[in-house]
Amino acid sequence: MKENPLNSLMNPRSIATVGAGNNPTKMGTIQALSIVKDGYRGKFYPIHPSEQTVLGHKAYPSVFELPETPDLAIFIVPTDQVIGLMEDFGKIGTRRAVVITAGFRETGSAGQELEEQLKECARRYGIRFLGPNCIGLLNSAISLNVTVMPLEGPPGLLGMASQSGTYVTQTLPYLKKRGIRFSKAISLGNEADIDINDALAYLGEDEQTKAIALYIEGLKDPARFLQIAREITPRKPVIAQYVGGTAAGARAGSSHTGAMAGPDHLYDGLFQQAGIIRVYSVEDLYGLGWALATQPHLKGKRIGVITNSGGPGTAISDTCNAGGLEVPIFSKRLQEQIRPHIPPHGARANPVDLTFFLDIQAISVTIPELVIQSGEVDGIVLHGAMGTGFMNQIYTHAGEMFGVPRDEFLESFREDTTAAMELPKKSGVPFLVSSFFDESDDFTTAYREHGIPVYDAPEKAARAMVALWKYRQIRERRLETAPALPPAAGEAAALIAEAVKRGVPFLDEFASKKVLAAYGIPIGAEELAHTAEEAVETAGRLGYPVVLKGCSEEFAHKTGRGLIYLNLPDGAAVRRSFKAIREAAEKEIPVLVARMVRGERELVAGAIRQPGFGPCVMFGLGGIFTEALRDTVFRLAPLSRLDALEMLEGIRAKELLGEFRGMPAVDREALAGILQKSGNLLLLHPEIREIDLNPIIIEGSRPVVVDALITF
């Protein structure tokens, strides 16, 4: 296995910067200040054409006058200088770089050409680099910060890889207020060389990083992303926000970093297949990511809710329950233990509601400890542990009545938070806090300083607990490698080659089903007829009732065009229908005669080759309402058996696959086989653009493909 280029890039012993000076309003200087001021202990070599010193460090007029070969070079210079500098550093032996400079692929075709020249230069010298058009990186383990914002506080646990520089650096003050700290953070920019797959693999192996957050605008290699993520997610949680799934999002991402976006439903399927928890806001990316990074694994779904107010307790309980968690009623024994510590009118069954009872030790220590020791919960969500923040508000109205200065008043109410902070760590269960008071409150500050997430709304704390539950399910799911592809079927290859040679856009239904049958996908009994008498003879042999369909490469879809007749009981009906189909087609097209497949459940499956994404498999609720209901799931091909079976559980109407209204359970293995083989077809035959199997009718328990279309 090749060594990840980020291993050395994130841990340089020496750094040279080009573009830093002594003007604190310039971006190069601002970023150099972060290196100098935030505790990096390696050597720092500024390169400047005229200054003798930069930020108190000896400056060098050119790359070739440096006293040694730096491990890392950072470029914050005009675009037209970057390639020349890359070459200079290559000549002296530097093998890692960060290109902050923008003006490449994201600007259009001219920028794209310039970026290709930059890549070629770097390849020539064996240089691996971040960017261009990025904001740099953070490594809190060695106090390395090459971004524009100060990195303060102790090392963190949450790793970040982002296709937006803002989310690595401008959010640092925002994160500091919330007690969230990065382990490592990587701004990827245009990903001309090192990409998000490299970053994900690096963070997956980094011992400091306990959870990984990804901000994604598009993926260049989804298949590699999937492979890497599936290796990581069983042992380390990964959470992601994708924003390129709409036309506006894709356009913005392209102009921002030149990212290749894809339809949202494909990314949704990719994340599920990879075991990645998807979020839809950067607030959740950080907030839920911090819970995943700091909290022990959730061992079950039972959650205890402790609150000083009924509304937040209800909101927490409702959000937890909606996310698949339980808020169980406590045993009589536990309720009796809680009773002395709450007012007579307080609730103790779960949620425990102190109803504005200001005994902070009771809500933050005594009751949580009783609940945890009972063994009746697997996690705690606490709302309302508040101290100086609340008393400060009281003083605003009644200060003169107390007769003491504000500081003295607040100090008299300051609680010892030691026991409250020790409890979550010694309990071994996830412990999440909700409070309407910010860092001005001593309890909020203490929790955050001790790595206990505090959220500014009850639902947010509950959503974080749901994220822990989702990750438990990810850890427990079984994974397997997709089997090797079978050899290409000769008959299928011949049909496809002949159609491509003729330049037709798709195979007709009969030919499409021949291709499917060559790979073992179940289709109904059917034959082509060219005359009415031939159709009657075929129908008699197949057995009534039958279906007649016009079959031509000119008609991709037959419904609503008078080209399909169902449930024909006898020869007379076959003759009439045959004639009607020819009249509707206005030419003598062949007619497909098929045994009528009976079943009340209709499903859809297929595969599509999405540009920049590769072959994907689709499954969902089928029939004429497929597009209206949009109850479908997607996965990347090839599929393992377990991937395919997991797809069956992914649709909203999954109950239809079990025993339902007197119908037997669907043969899931057979249905999963159809999905696997559909994906294999695209991999074996690159000429195929799309396969549409709709509907698949469940006859008894057996799935049968009754209509199919293969498109080029």
Q: Tell whether 628 is covered by a domain.
A: yes
If asked whether residues 509 and 546 sit together in one domain, one would say yes
Residues of the chain with pLDDT under 70: 1, 245-261, 560
Q: In whole angstroms, what separates CA 343 from the centre of its chain? A: 45
- Count of other CB atoms within 10 angstroms of residue 42: 17
CA distance 600 to 612: 38
- Please report whether residue 353 resides in a domain: yes
Tokens of 211: 């959870």
* CA 634 to the chain's CA centroid: 14
d(CA 74, CA 70): 10
d(CA 657, CA 390): 54
- In what helix (H) or strand (E) does residue 73 lie, and over which residues does it extend? strand 72-75
Q: Return d(Cα 349, Cα 679) in angstroms, integer.
A: 51
Instruction: State whether 144 and 57 are in the same domain.
Output: yes
* Residue 13, domain extent: 6-292
Residue 483 placed within a domain: no
Last residue of a domain, one of 292, 320, 347: 292
Q: What is the CATH number of the domain that holds 144?
A: 3.40.50.261
Shared domain check, 328 and 282: no
1 domain residue, yes or no: no
**Same-domain status, 568 and 506:** yes
- Do 684 and 653 touch, CB atoms closer than 8 A? no
Separation CA 151–CA 145 (nearest Å): 7
CA distances to 129, 625, 640 from 1, rounded to whole Å, are 19, 48, 24
Q: Name the residue with tokens 């937040």.
A: 312
Residues 518 and 553 in one domain: yes
Beta-sheet strands, E only, within 557-712? 564-568, 591-595, 601-610, 614-621, 632-636, 690-699, 702-705, 708-711
Contacts of 621 (CB under 8 A, 6+ apart): 602, 603, 604, 629, 631, 632, 651, 652, 653, 656
pLDDT of residue 4: 97
Q: Are 62 and 75 contained in the same domain?
A: yes
- Let me know whether 257 and 381 are in one domain: no
- The predicted pLDDT at position 249 comes to 47
Query: Can you point out the beta strands (E) in 491-541?
Result: 506-507, 526-529
Which tens digit of pLDDT belongs to each residue from 446-493? 999 999 999 999 999 999 999 999 999 999 999 999 999 999 999 999
At a CB cut-off of 8 Å and minimum separation 6, what does 381 contact? Answer: 303, 304, 305, 306, 316, 320, 432, 433, 434, 458, 461, 462, 465
Q: Which of 6, 5, 291 is CA-nearest to residue 144?
A: 6
Fill in the amino acid letter for 167.
Y
Determine the pLDDT at residue 181: 98
- Residues 518, 523, 526: CA angle, nearest 5 degrees: 100
CA–chain centroid gap for 36, Å, is 35
Domain shared by 359 and 439, yes or no:
yes
Claim to verify: residue 426 and residue 287 sit in the same structural domain: no
Q: Measuring CA to CA, which residue among 644, 605, 646 is closest to residue 622?
A: 605
Rounded to two decimals, what is the model's pTM? Answer: 0.93
Answer with the one of 567, 595, 623 that is the final residue of a domain: 595
| Token pair 């007379």 in the structure block, residue | 572
- What does the pLDDT read at residue 225? 98
Question: Hey, which bits of 309-435 come out as E strands?
Answer: 352-353, 379-383, 431-434
pLDDT at residue 247, as a whole number = 58
Q: What CATH number did the domain enclosing 506 receive?
A: 3.30.1490.20
Is residue 397 situated within a structural domain? yes
Q: In this structure, is residue 44 part of a structural domain? A: yes
Residues 77/31, Cβ–Cβ less than 8 Å: no
- Total domains, the chain: 4
In a domain, 124, yes or no: yes
The per-residue pLDDT for 251 is 46
What's the CA gap between 363 and 357, in Å, rounded? 9
Judge if 120 and 260 occupy the same domain: yes
Two tokens at 58? 């000896």
| 16: helix, strand or coil | strand
Name residue, tokens 């690595």. 168
pLDDT at 558: 72
Asked if residue 485 belongs to a domain, the reply is no
pLDDT of residue 261: 64
Domain boundary among 555, 571, 595: 595
Specify whether 74 is located in the same domain as 161: yes
Question: How far is residue 216 from each of residues 190, 249, 375, measured CA to CA in Å?
Answer: 12, 11, 40
476: Cβ contacts below 8 Å, ≥ 6 apart: none
**Residues contacting 7, CB < 8 A, separation 6+:** 202
650 shares its domain with 703: yes
